[in-house]
Amino acid sequence: MNHRPPRSDGRGAERGKPTPRAGERAPANAGRVVGGRPAGGSRQEPVREDPYRRPSRTSDARWQPLPDPPTVRHEPAPRGQPAHRPLLTGGKLALTVVSVLILVVTGYYWRELESWNQDMQTADVIDQPPTERPADGAIDILMVGMDSRTDAQGKPLSDEQLAMLSAGESDGELNTDSLIMIRIPNDGKAAVGISMPRDSYVDIPGYGQHKINSAYLRAKNEAMRSLRNEGVSDKPQLEVRSNQEGAKNLIATVQELTGATIDHYAEVNLLGFYDITRAIGGIDVCLKEPVDDSYSGARFPAGKQNLSGAPALAFVRQRHGLPNGDLDRIVRQQVFMSGMAKKVFSQDMLTPGSDTLDKLKTAVQKSVVLDEDWNVVQFAQQMMTFTGGNLTFKTIPVGRPDLETPEDGSAIEVDPGAVRSFVQGLLGTKEQSSSAAPAPGAGGSGDQAGNQQITVNVRNASGQQGVADSVATALAGDGFAKGEVGNADPRDATVVRHAQGEQDAGDRVAAALGGSPVVEEDSNLPPGTVTVLLGGDFDASNVEASGNSLTRQPLLRLAPEPVGQPLLRLSPARAGQPAQPDASGCVN
């Protein structure tokens, strides 16, 4: 995804996509690898071709690291933290989110930002330029974090740089390990970053079901072979056009999974993240327990600390020893990006006379690739207007984290229908069909009439007093029939159980509760009945009865978290979801 040479065969030739050949395996040493090295040999990934090494541009000076800021500050961990918890480490940050946030928040420097467009690396990967108000209700930006051993111009990093980044053999080369879609609603609501686990088992257009992190490489390898068979021998053309096909296929995969239309694309590499975090003076994080991981180089004490450069990179890349695998990696991604968003949205970060913007510009231009239709300044102005500085992060709903697959080893189970409903629900609407029930919270007699056919039992398994009756009363205010109320054995996660074949009833109750609880079938329940088991992740202090009418907000409002942190506090035991920071903001 590098700076493209002048087209010699017309736009159509540049954008033409070779037809994938069914059943063909990726050759050894093929293209950009998407996905990391399998842990314990159980996760299989495509292999890569030797990357083409482009000649250095005459304007490129030898890379020099930015001056070192104070790298690490330590404070004792907050008192009262439980000891000896399992280590939940995080993986590679969706690095592009960090870079793009840098671009969108510097409101005092619009004129300087105009010059950024002239020197940004671009890629021809979006077929239709976006409109001001997309038909799907939001501008959607796909962010891809690249574990690349090259810079944005395709030049290999030196041994010195690789050692500095702790970019060793363990993590492979040119992986697309981090995928986040930023959704900016047309109606001005706050933007949402949607994390997609790299091991999600999904349909990849033209290739069948595989891990989502292989979508890029499969198409790139196929395009490279097809272009060579067509007689294309120019290495820059081969690299640019095959990379573009890889990115296009990744975009198509995400669109099919989420139901959204990707309007913009961005990627960044390890070196860019390293320099960006140093340029802004690092990010404050907090660890519950000390960390010592030889694979990533993450060695930190417990407590609060400021991380930038190599330590920050190690913090977001650590992945070994995770109880929930890829899902736990997302915890650190979201926490770090939350801190980044808070810092870059601060008006105090860029003061007149500061050289921070110049450092950011240098880091971003040598490490970030954008689609060619993206005007950075226009997007920055739009982002500021729509969100007012608010950006939250969520994760797509997933199933089993240990799904065994025919070719790809262990993967994460994903239901595309549930993902599409989740993504659409972030706009305050829900996908409808003629037979589908209206979305809870949308108001109107249709909702009330449908809810009246559902009897809801509520069991308090949270350990908090009086929760079950309060929740039952609130649901009755939404039109649901009040069923049995009582207690149950303690559990960590809230669960909504519905009768056999009545998924819609469970979804209605779950949507009314808010917080995306698990919905599952219980064959022992009679028709028309739903049972709610309130777990320890439910905040009883915010239970409110809604009266006799539905509202557009969830009935049971969970305690608000700082900007960038998911609302529902989930325990590590909940399958399919990552554990969240505790009240202090510390993570494992």
Q: Tell me the DSSP string of 466-504.
A: THHHHHHHHHHHTTPEEEEEEE----SS-EEEE-TT-HH
Can you give the pLDDT at residue 336?
A: 81
Strand (E) or helix (H) holding 535: none
pLDDT tens for residues 536-549? 877 665 554 433 33
pLDDT for the residue 330: 77
pLDDT grade for 375, boundaries at 50, 70 and 90:
low
Q: What is the pLDDT at residue 174?
A: 54
Query: Model confidence at 331, in pLDDT bands (50, 70, 90)?
Result: confident
pLDDT tier at 234, thresholds 50, 70, 90: confident
Higher pLDDT, 514 or 283: 283
Q: What is the pLDDT, as a whole number, of residue 237?
A: 79
Q: Which residues contact 163 (CB under 8 A, 6 or more apart)?
A: none
Out of 153-157, 296-300, 413-417, least confident range:
153-157
Q: In 10 A of CB 111, how many CB atoms?
A: 8
Residue 410 has pLDDT above 80, yes or no: yes
Smallest CA-to-CA distance from 96 within 182, 34, 32, 2 is with 182
Question: CB neighbours of 329 closer than 8 A, spacing ≥ 6?
Answer: 89, 90, 91, 92, 197, 198, 319, 322, 578
Pairing of strands 191-196, 391-395: parallel
**pLDDT of amino acid 393:** 80
Q: Are 65 and 164 in contact, with CB atoms under 8 Å apart?
A: yes
* Fold (CATH) for 65-425: Aminopeptidase (3.40.630)
Most confident residue range from 31-45, 360-374, 449-463: 449-463
483 near 497, Cβ under 8 Å?
no
- Under the banding of pLDDT at 50, 70 and 90, the label for residue 301 is very high
- The side-by-side arrangement of strands in the sheet containing 262-269 is 121-123, 368-371, 262-269, 138-147, 175-185, 191-196, 391-395
pLDDT confidence of 200, banded at 50, 70, 90? very high
- pLDDT above 50 (res 76): no
Q: Would the pTM of this model clear 0.85, i.e. be above it?
A: no
Q: Is the pLDDT of residue 17 over 70?
A: no
Question: In which band, very low, low, confident or very high, does the pLDDT at 20 lie, cut at 50, 70 and 90?
Answer: very low
CATH level 3 topology of 445-542: Alpha-Beta Plaits (3.30.70)
Mean pLDDT of 572-582: 43
Reported confidence tier of residue 240, pLDDT bands at 50, 70, 90: confident
CA triplet 364, 284, 102: central angle to 5 degrees? 25
Q: Please give the pLDDT value at position 554.
A: 40
pLDDT at 222: 94
CA torsion sign, 481 to 484 to 486 to 492?
A: negative
Residues 6+ apart with CB under 8 A from 140: 134, 181, 182, 183, 184, 258, 260, 261, 262, 263, 264
Per domain, the residue ranges of the chain are: 65-425, 445-542
Q: Environment class of residue 47 by beta-carbon count within 10 Å: exposed (0-12), middle (13-18) or buried (19+)?
A: middle
- Confidence category of residue 83, pLDDT binned at 50, 70, 90: very low
pLDDT confidence tier of residue 454, bands split at 50, 70 and 90: very high
pLDDT (average), residues 450-474: 87
- Residue 96 falls in which region: left (phi positive, over 0), alpha (psi -120 to 50) or beta: alpha
Highest mean pLDDT among 77-86, 92-101, 117-126, 171-180: 117-126
Average pLDDT over residues 130-151: 76
Task: Summarize the confidence of residues 136-142 as an average pLDDT.
Answer: 85
Instruction: For residue 354, give the amino acid letter.
Output: S
Inter-residue contact 142 to 390 (CB < 8 Å): no
What's the average model confidence in pLDDT over 189-215?
90
Whether residue 489 is predicted with pLDDT greater than 60 in this model: the reply is yes
Indicate the range of 103-107, 223-227, 292-296 predicted with least confidence: 103-107
What is the pLDDT, as a whole number, of residue 385? 46
Which of 63-72, 140-149, 528-537 is least confident? 63-72
* pLDDT of 136 higher than 50: yes
With pLDDT > 70 as the criterion, what percentage of the chain qualifies?
58
- Helix (H) / strand (E) element for 75: namely none
Each residue's pLDDT tens digit, 336-349 = 877 776 676 565 55
Predicted local distance difference test score (pLDDT) of residue 251: 95
Residue 242: pLDDT band (50, 70, 90) is confident
Farthest-apart Cα atoms in the chain, separation? 76
- Cβ neighbours of residue 315 closer than 8 Å, sequence gap 6 or more: 90, 285, 298, 300, 307, 332, 336
Q: Which amino acid is at 80?
A: G
